[in-house]
Structure 1
Amino acid sequence: MGAVDPVVVESAAVLARHLRQGRDRRLAVLEWFSEAGMPVMPGAVPVPEPPMDAVRQALVWVLQRSAAQRLVEFARHAAGAGEEGQDALYNLADRLIKPYRGLAHPSVVRAALEADEDLPEGPDFKGMVHLVAAIGWGAEEVGGDALAVAFASFGTFGLTVEDWAQALGAAERDGGPPVDWGLLQQHADLRGRTLRASDEELVRARTVLLGLRGFYWLYMMHGLFMPDTPALAALRNLIDECGMGPVLDHAIALSPSARQLGENLAICMERPFDGLYETLVEQLGKDPDVFSITGDATGPAGFDETWLRAVRELSAPGRAVGGGADDDPGERLA
């Protein structure tokens, strides 16, 4: 009997780790694909790549069942149905979209915790249903007021509904080139984009997703008193300059389910996410000392101790944070 190919053995092992009774195999394939992109620890056996066709099929399967895709397809089918179709779309959105507010900017969160104040609310993403309507019916049918609500729901650059309404109105009054709303429809076709993606594009999307997940974690942990360093500040500033903080909050899950993982992978094939990843990697190459506090020769060990000390002081008896001395700042941000 010939020797068994070790790649086959390891592939069977990793698939078994993610399979359980009653679970769809496609979800396990997506987690396998994610695990294969993780850094290999010294002495560990590299995780082989799953078959790319299986990854692509799993992604399409997840996207077809996502709330966002279902809403987009419903909006397209309801085009031309008048007020009845619009009411049906918004009723469906109420059923499919769980109430969710994004996290406030980490600097605002940090300031609130320092001042023993309640944490401020982040952007309300529910308004994005108006963008779905625009994809299905056209921006003119939805109207500028609804689109202003939709864009403001992202929280980008802190712009309000009024800010967006003025900007959209000015663009229309100035008589310049019309806004290419067709781009909305192109970016909404994640399923088609995934079907056309090459193996290399799928692997690249994984690289972007895993990288952005790390950068987003560094960004948000500033709100939980992570010590600030010039390198960390530079990364946060780049994210803010691009207005991508709230977008990452919406699109990148730090501990994703397999379904969220599929949706996140598809999103990370889009150019804005790829471009942001490249920009942040370039900055990290210029200043990699993210965990080195200026003047502290202990490096990452001193960084960790400084952070733990700040959290202990925050939760010390007698120091209530927004309503109770026993509050866990990590739980309050969950």
Structure 2
Amino acid sequence: MRAALEADGDVPDEPDCKEVVHLAAAIGLGVQEVGGDALAEAFGAFALFGLTAEDWAQMLGAAERGESPPVDWGLLQQRADVLGPVQQASDEQLLRARTVLLGLRMFYGLHAMHALFMPDTPALAALRAKIDELGVFPILDHVIALSSSPRHFAQGLAIGLDPLFDGLYETLMEQLAADPALFQIPDDETGAAGFMETWTRTLREQTARARKRADASCEEPA
């Protein structure tokens, strides 16, 4: 979308979120209430294990017909229990989970802000490339971008307790240590101050361009 706006091109349609709804329904209501086809679309949208929706449909269909080992769908429902792991965690584990959660939120924000015309320094580009290389931004987009309600806070801590996200946090921290100058624009000695000034100026320019496009659209004959 950022590239389209910078080139005065057409803005692409927003992605369909029905796959997320299907997955949430499967967790809350049970897989049988959703159906194999809808669940296959949901798994395919997340590109789990690199499989397409068609791949998942074949696998799930085979399981439903008894042509493959039975699938323990209860494991999927168990993932909905977000309070249990938090209640059972030690103080040290909770502190670590908070560190992981806050760190992943920072990395998620740095990646997402690129769409809001944040200046693209070499360090930011490298960090974003690492996230894209791992293919985890869609996952971060759903599990990190949570509200601050008590339930979502518990969900966030449960995420931080998961070894998968702990390892992801460590990987991104290693990338940050390798190139920490996130807000240093090349050949700009003003540092973070120059970074913010450039960002503010770009936002104003894009706002003015958007207004011109809107005015031109209103002037076109019906």
Say yes or no: TM over 0.5. yes
Partner of 1:122: 15
Corresponding pairs, count: 207
> Are 1:146 and 2:35 counterparts?
no
Give the % identical residues.
54
Q: CA RMSD in A?
A: 3.3
Query: How has the CA–CA distance of structure 1 residues 261 and 277 changed in structure 2, closer, same or farther, with 3 Å as cutoff?
Result: same
TM (normalized to structure 1)? 0.53
In structure 1, C-alpha distance between the alignment counterparts of 2:81 and 2:34, rounded to whole Å: 19
- Residue identity matched to 2:100: V
Q: Which moved more, 1:292-301 or 1:249-258?
A: 249-258
Partner of 1:256: 148
The structural deviation recorded for 1:258 is: 4.2
| 1:2-34 alpha-carbon deviations (Å, 9 max, x no partner) | xxxxxxxxxxxxxxxxxxxxxxxxxxxxxxxxx
The runs of 5 or more residues in structure 1 that have no matched partner are 1-108, 326-334
The structural deviation recorded for 1:290 is: 0.7
Query: How has the CA–CA distance of structure 1 residues 288 and 176 changed in structure 2, closer, same or farther, with 3 Å as cutoff?
Result: farther
1:236 alignment partner, SS class: helix
In structure 2, C-alpha distance between the alignment counterparts of 1:287 and 1:187, rounded to whole Å: 35
> Are 1:222 and 2:114 counterparts?
yes
In structure 2, C-alpha distance between the alignment counterparts of 1:310 and 1:226, rounded to whole Å: 8
The structural deviation recorded for 1:307 is: 1.2
Partner of 1:166: 55
Answer whether contact 1:144 1:165 (CA < 8 A) is retained: no
- Residue identity matched to 1:220: A
TM (normalized to structure 2)? 0.76
Q: Which moved more, 1:226-235 or 1:121-130?
A: 121-130
2:161 alignment partner, SS class: coil
- Residue identity matched to 1:166: D
| 1:280-318 alpha-carbon deviations (Å, 9 max, x no partner) | 1111011101111222222212211221121111012xx
> Are 1:320 and 2:213 counterparts?
no
In structure 2, C-alpha distance between the alignment counterparts of 1:285 and 1:167, rounded to whole Å: 38
Partner of 1:5: none
Query: How has the CA–CA distance of structure 1 residues 197 and 111 changed in structure 2, closer, same or farther, with 3 Å as cutoff?
Result: same
Answer whether contact 2:4 2:10 (CA < 8 A) is retained: yes
Equivalent residue for 1:199, pick from 91, 98, 104: 91
Answer whether contact 2:97 2:158 (CA < 8 A) is retained: yes
| 1:247-298 alpha-carbon deviations (Å, 9 max, x no partner) | 2222223763444323222232222222211111111011101111222222
1:313 alignment partner, SS class: helix
Is the helix fraction higher in 1 or 2?
2
- Residue identity matched to 2:210: A
